[in-house]
Structure 1
Amino acid sequence: MPRVVTLPGFVNAHSHAFQRALRGRAAGDEFWAWRDEMLAEAERHRPETVRELYERTYREMRAAGFTAVGEFHYLGLDTAYAAADAADAAGIAYVSLHVAYARGGLERMRQPSVAAYVSEVERLRHRGIAVGIAPHSVRACPRDWLVELGRYAAAEQLVLHVHACEQPREVEECLAEHGKRPIELLADTGCLGPQTTVVHATHANGAELDLLRDSGSTICACPTTEADLGDGFIPAIRVLHRGIPLCIGSDSNVRIDPLEELRELEGIARRQDGRRGVFEADALWAIGGASGARALGLESWDEIEVDLDHRSLDGVAPEHLRAALVAGCGGDVVVSPT
């Protein structure tokens, strides 16, 4: 039996589990070409395929050290139930970030009105599934939807997650339609606040970061996906200086490894600031765990066991364990649950 140590589990605050099927595909030379293939993959899924693929993906997450996941789900209500069942079977704490989609995308993603969307959310809640409000983006939700969704999330005390400032074209289109940048529009429509998590923010400017800071909102960084899709990278130093809370997500699941997400986050910060140890080890563990749980509205999530006899930890002193895990280990140091 290996020697093990028990540590807090990691929380995956942003996942699109069906996109695990896309890993390794070339899918064009930029984000928008990749998106076309992603939509084609989304179109083919039915409850039975979601149930099977999501359970396998969630088991991968669990084996790598993620013990909770927020699934940013936009494949329709019928598959939302299947996704929750898959998480239960895989033994991972689950929050359905049920997506509001007014325009664009696929027909199966869209609701005809905010009232119809709220009805879907209430049906999920009636089933006992933990739910968050998730306007997909300022591209998918017009201003009036954002206003109503912000009000509903606040009234029901539900978390609100939204993609914003992921791509330059998204920013340009928002400016053309609204005369505001995406995070400025979210602030103007009442969608920012301590219960809000903005996913990516890779192209947020200083004024937008100030809005996130002042509202108490969180940023979910997804470094491996942002690298894979050519999104850019989080302005880590400016986020850190403002004290904006951070969490992590595996997003497209091109990689499923919380330690790699955290290592990439620290690596980005080092490149931006020209120094080492920008985020202390304990701060990175909080970003990987407690901050993600708070973003999902979770009060508890499982711990993990780490194999102290793993070759990546050979010779590491106990006081350096957490730093060594982030600096040089992968998810295979986690002892898979039986």
Structure 2
Amino acid sequence: MTRAVTLPGFVNAHSHAFQRALRGRAAGRDFWAWREGMLAEAKRHSPDTVRELYARTYAEMRAAGYTAVGEFHYLGLDTALAAADAAAEAEIAFVCLHVAYARGGPEGMRQDSVSAYVAEVERLREREIAVGIAPHSVRACPREWLEELGRYASAEGLVLHVHADEQPREVEECLAEHGLRPIELLADCGCLGSRTTVVHATHANGVELDLLRDSGSTICACPTTEADLGDGFLPALRVRHRGIPLCIGSDSNIRIDPFEELRELEGIARRQGGKRGVFPTDELLQIGGANGAQALGLEVWDEISVDTGHRSLQGVAPEHLHAALLAGCSADVVIPPG
């Protein structure tokens, strides 16, 4: 017999849904080789293929317990509209983190100017699609773009999401171009603040973490993707010591399982510190839910039900249920909606 308990839904604050098609590819090669295959995959998509693939991927997310998703979208405006339609079909709350791309990547991903990018954002807003400002990275956006995007996001009260400090080469290239590390550059350009989420921060140093703390910015950790791509480990202990808010994302969607993301985050912290229970259970649930909602600017998102009679929870006392969910369960404990 199914015995259900209700929890706040999980929030997937960073997704590239099209990358679900890449799982398992390019094994044994580095991030940069994987990136070439990823960009080739991106180029092949149309609104029709996005509508089909994203609906299927978002349905997987919904079944796994994610009830909201921030889609970090760089496949163009028409496909952004298709992604929003796919999310509506899957009944998952959707925020389009529409990507600004000035240089690098295929031509179809890039905008000619910040004003052209803002025009795309405004078209999405006219369609009543929730949006966020998303300079792809310090590699893809020069200083002047970052400055203008930071001002626009602040003036419009929009969230701002950006990849930073994911790979050592990214840090080296930023130092060579700007004399600053990525998060230092974001701070210098006015892109940090309480509505900002920095994705990954895997190689952030102490100075950069202090900047995130002092600005009230959030970090989105994507542990299963960071493991798959060989990105490294979030400096979890130093992040928590500073009180920097954390949320989670499925990123490349190699796995779609919020329990696994949170368990890996705690596992990283345990291995770094040599002790257990670094993030208390209630804190992990907040990272998986409310923190992600705040990062996306969402005030409401659906709850989920989990099956307390599931084999993974047999023999677990009620007072240990939440801890057991995060320590030993997968997304199959979630009761499908409807």
Q: CA deviation at 1:95?
A: 0.1
Give the whole-Å Cα distance in 2 for the aligned partners of 1:285 and 1:332. Answer: 17
Q: Which runs of 5+ in 2 are unaligned?
A: none
Give the whole-Å Cα distance in 2 for the aligned partners of 1:233 and 1:28. Answer: 18
- CA shift digits 1:284-326 (9 cap, x unpaired): 0000000000000000000000001100000111111111000
One-letter code of the match for 1:2?
Answer: T
Q: CA deviation at 1:25?
A: 1.1
**Aligned ranges for residues 111-190 of structure 1 at < 5 Å?**
111-190=111-190
1:27 touches 1:33 (CA, 8 Å); kept in 2?
A: no
- CA shift digits 1:50-100 (9 cap, x unpaired): 000000000000000000000000000000000000000000000000000
Match of 1:67 in 2: 67
Q: CA deviation at 1:24?
A: 1.1
Match of 2:299 in 1: 299
1:31 touches 1:230 (CA, 8 Å); kept in 2?
A: yes
Give the whole-Å Cα distance in 1 for the aligned partners of 2:70 and 2:321. Answer: 27
Q: CA deviation at 1:27?
A: 5.2
Match of 1:104 in 2: 104
Give the whole-Å Cα distance in 2 for the aligned partners of 1:128 and 1:337. Answer: 25
Give the whole-Å Cα distance in 1 for the aligned partners of 2:280 and 2:209. Answer: 22
Match of 1:210 in 2: 210
Q: Which runs of 5+ in 1 are unaligned?
A: none
Match of 1:270 in 2: 270
Match of 2:80 in 1: 80
Give the whole-Å Cα distance in 2 for the aligned partners of 1:15 and 1:311. Answer: 30
Give the whole-Å Cα distance in 2 for the aligned partners of 1:108 and 1:14. Answer: 21
Match of 2:91 in 1: 91
How many residues end up aligned between the 2 structures? Answer: 338
One-letter code of the match for 1:88?
Answer: A
Q: Counterpart of 2:79 in 1: which secondary structure?
A: helix
Match of 1:261 in 2: 261
Q: CA deviation at 1:261?
A: 0.1
One-letter code of the match for 1:305?
Answer: S
Give the whole-Å Cα distance in 2 for the aligned partners of 1:244 and 1:169. Answer: 25
1:27 touches 1:37 (CA, 8 Å); kept in 2?
A: no
1:47 touches 1:79 (CA, 8 Å); kept in 2?
A: yes
Give the whole-Å Cα distance in 1 for the aligned partners of 2:25 and 2:167. Answer: 20
**Cα distance change of structure 1 residues 292 and 324 upon mapping to structure 2, 3 Å threshold:** same
One-letter code of the match for 1:101?
Answer: Y
Match of 1:15 in 2: 15
One-letter code of the match for 1:72?
Answer: F
CA RMSD of aligned residues (A): 0.6
Q: Counterpart of 1:250 in 2: which secondary structure?
A: coil
1:28 touches 1:34 (CA, 8 Å); kept in 2?
A: no
Q: Counterpart of 2:69 in 1: which secondary structure?
A: strand
Q: What TM-score, normalized to structure 2?
A: 0.99
Match of 1:57 in 2: 57
Identity %, equivalent residues = 82
More displaced stretch, 27-36 vs 87-96:
27-36
Q: CA deviation at 1:28?
A: 5.3
Give the whole-Å Cα distance in 1 for the aligned partners of 2:40 and 2:252. Answer: 14
Give the whole-Å Cα distance in 1 for the aligned partners of 2:241 and 2:87. Answer: 36
Match of 2:286 in 1: 286
One-letter code of the match for 1:8?
Answer: P
Give the whole-Å Cα distance in 2 for the aligned partners of 1:317 and 1:171. Answer: 47
Q: What TM-score, normalized to structure 1?
A: 0.99
Q: Counterpart of 1:32 in 2: which secondary structure?
A: helix
The list of structure 1 runs, each at least 4 consecutive aligned residues, that deviate by more than 6 angstroms after superposition, is: none
Q: Counterpart of 1:251 in 2: which secondary structure?
A: coil
Q: CA deviation at 1:26?
A: 2.4
